[in-house]
Chains A and B, each alone.
Chain A
Amino acid sequence: SQELEQSPQSLIVQEGKNLTINCTSSKTLYGLYWYKQKYGEGLIFLMMLQKGGEEKSHEKITAKLDEKKQQSSLHITASQPSHAGIYLCGADIITSNTGKLIFGQGTTLQVKP
């Protein structure tokens, strides 16, 4: 969906390097969700952010939602081959609590050993 822009579209990094993926909207994001997808499989939920300025971490992955709730970033520290896949941000931009999400185009991550 053009309402959610992800950058970069693809990324190749050396194992051990840090990286950041961004998700931007022109509208207020009432709920921002990060998912990971491997080829041929469904989307796996990573993290959910709802409040402006919120930051969450799980293992080596940190996600932030800016104060204006229009941009989110996903940061991976010391990347590993297991981090490879497609990362998608999804958001409810209509109103809170509908559960109806639109998604960005995704960022394909390759991690070279």
Chain B
Amino acid sequence: DAGVIQSPRHEVTEMGQEVTLRCKPISGHNSLFWYRQTMMRGLELLIYFNNNVPIDDSGMPEDRFSAKMPNASFSTLKIQPSEPRDSAVYFCASSTTYGTGSISSYNSPLHFGNGTRLTVT
């Protein structure tokens, strides 16, 4: 099991540039989450997908942020245009659902990638 893989590990870009962060979830996991971590706000959930479909994007800060999951093994988080206040560590996490039905099913703990440290100057 290779775990959740994120790329790049570090990204430094100038304000106004487009940034794309990538994530490969653990094979077989059907839920994928994008989080952002800063000193001021801690770990915030941006968006999550279930079976490749966006379920809740209420944490996406602005229209400058967009996320896609074209298939079960790949997701991207894009920021366009980037701003200095977007500087943070962005984490991707995945999990799987065991069982069936709304009562009997439960989710595995989230497995996190090592994150992408984004610096916007």
Chain A positions within 8 Å of B, measured between CB atoms, are 1, 31, 33, 35, 40-45, 48, 50, 88, 90, 96-106
Which applies to chain B's interface (DSSP): helix, strand, loop or mixed? strand
B18 at the interface (CB under 8 A from A): no
Tally the A-B contacts, defined by beta carbons under 8 Å.
Answer: 61
Kindly identify which residue among B45, B95, B112 contacts A43, using a CB–CB cutoff of 8 Å: B112
Report how many residues on chain B are interfacial, defined by Cβ distance under 8 Å.
27
Which of B31, B48, B105, B109 is the most central at the interface, judged by chain A CB atoms within 10 Å of its CB?
Answer: B109
What is the bound-complex CA distance between A34 and B102, given in angstroms? 24
What is the bound-complex CA distance between A85 and B91, given in angstroms? 18
Chain B positions within 8 Å of A, measured between CB atoms, are 4, 31, 33, 42-45, 48, 50, 55-56, 91, 93, 95, 97, 102, 105-107, 109-115, 117
- Whether A90 pairs with B110 at a CB distance below 8 angstroms is yes
What is the bound-complex CA distance between A41 and B111, given in angstroms? 12
Which of B56, B107, B113, B117 is the most central at the interface, judged by chain A CB atoms within 10 Å of its CB?
Answer: B107
Kindly identify which residue among B48, B91, B105, B115 contacts A100, using a CB–CB cutoff of 8 Å: B48
